[in-house]
Amino acid sequence: MTDDYLRVSYSSLNTFESCPRKFEFSKLFDRRPWTGEEFAAAVGTALHKGYQEYLVSNDRDKALWAMAKAYPHELEWTVEASKAEPRSLAACAITLDAMIDSDAMNEWEVAQIKNPQGEIVPAIEVPYEIRFKGITLPDGRGVAHVGFMDAIMRHKGSNDLFRTLDIKTHRRFAREATSKYRYDNQQTPYGICIEHIQGKPVDQFEVLYFDTFVDLAEPVITLYDFARDQHDIQDWLTNTILKIQNIQRYMEMDFFPRTDGGCMSWNKACPMMTPCQSRDRNAIQEWLLAGENPEQRAPEIPWILAWIDPFGNEGD
Ligand code: SF4
């Protein structure tokens, strides 16, 4: 069995769905080291850290300190004041208070998990990797699905009831977001991770989207929770395998199609407009590296490593 994997995530598979060519550029070519961290995303990370600290310690001061330490003070100066102000440190402190006041987790406690060093730790920011048996890409690699879970919670009244959590921070004014999350599958594979933790199949678990409108005057926290079960996990697996088989096919053909849907997203042109004109791999590689050395990033060491046999050829 191969020990080298193409690692895809919820977000990279979404890229694949929106434009296979864009996926090819980001996953199948060497890239320059990435230096473009964005202010809004970094603010989201700071709020994650603050709330995750609160989940572990139940201490508002520690949560505030964790958020403030992670706050991107330097990046704040790289954006216009009108964009920085609603995500200022003060706005984040008020938003974090609102997150804690939402009482979303009254009946829940953070589950415990063994990390790669063998220590039992709170299941916060848990990296996982799900490897698919029986799939080999034309370049000899296997395929794995990877990601981070913001938190795994266990119900205080029942050892068998789990809830996973995804914190979504944003400045989107369209508030009602049921349609955004109802069939979103970001957290569905977390069920496979829960099975791994408890050592038996999970009948049902809960996914919570912690939707957080960041604001200085009026932050809004809306909780969207949904049940997921084995049917959802199976749907996710089937859908994921179909996408991976398409990746396999496009690699065999050496042809990743361009999107038919235009090349703008979030009102910005795709940054790949120039290399996208070419089908010459060497020319594309040269353009992408622009004379720099490729990024060498070691894969994350997963806390949960699961193998799935999607074709049912082997025992698990
Ligand atoms: S320029 Fe258009 S077709 Fe090419 S990668 Fe970007 S979105 Fe896809």
* Residue whose pair of structure tokens reads 């395998």 in the numeric block: 241
Going from the Cα of 281 to the center of ligand 1, the distance in angstroms, rounded, reads: 16
276: Cβ below 6 Å to ligand 1? yes
**What is the spatial distance between Cα 184 and Cα 186, in angstroms, rounded to a whole number?**
6
According to the model, what pLDDT value does residue 267 have? 85
Alpha carbon of 305 to ligand 1 centroid (Å): 33
Model pTM score: 0.93
How does pLDDT run along the chain (316 residues), one tens digit per residue? 567 999 999 999 999 999 999 999 999 999 998 776 789 999 999 999 999 999 999 999 999 999 999 999 998 888 888 888 899 999 999 999 999 999 888 899 999 999 999 999 999 999 999 999 999 999 999 999 999 999 999 999 988 899 999 999 999 887 789 999 999 999 999 999 999 888 888 999 999 999 999 999 999 999 999 999 999 999 999 999 999 999 999 999 999 999 999 999 888 899 999 999 999 999 999 999 999 999 988 888 999 999 999 888 764 4
Q: Is 284 in the pocket of ligand 1 (CB under 6 A)?
A: no
Task: Say if ligand 1 is within 6 A of residue 259 CB.
Answer: yes
Q: For residue 104, what pLDDT is reported?
A: 83
Pocket probe for ligand 1: among 16, 17, 22, the residue whose CB has the most ligand atoms within 8 Å is 22
Using left for φ > 0, alpha for ψ between -120 and 50, and beta otherwise, residue 25 falls in: alpha
In whole angstroms, give the CA distance from residue 63 to residue 153: 18
Q: Which residues contact 280 (CB under 8 A, 6 or more apart)?
A: none
Which string of b and e fits 185-208 if b means at least 16 CB within 10 Å? Answer: bbbbbbbbbbbbbeeeebeebbbb
Q: Is residue 264 within 6 Å of ligand 1 at its C-beta?
A: no
Rg (CA), the chain: 21
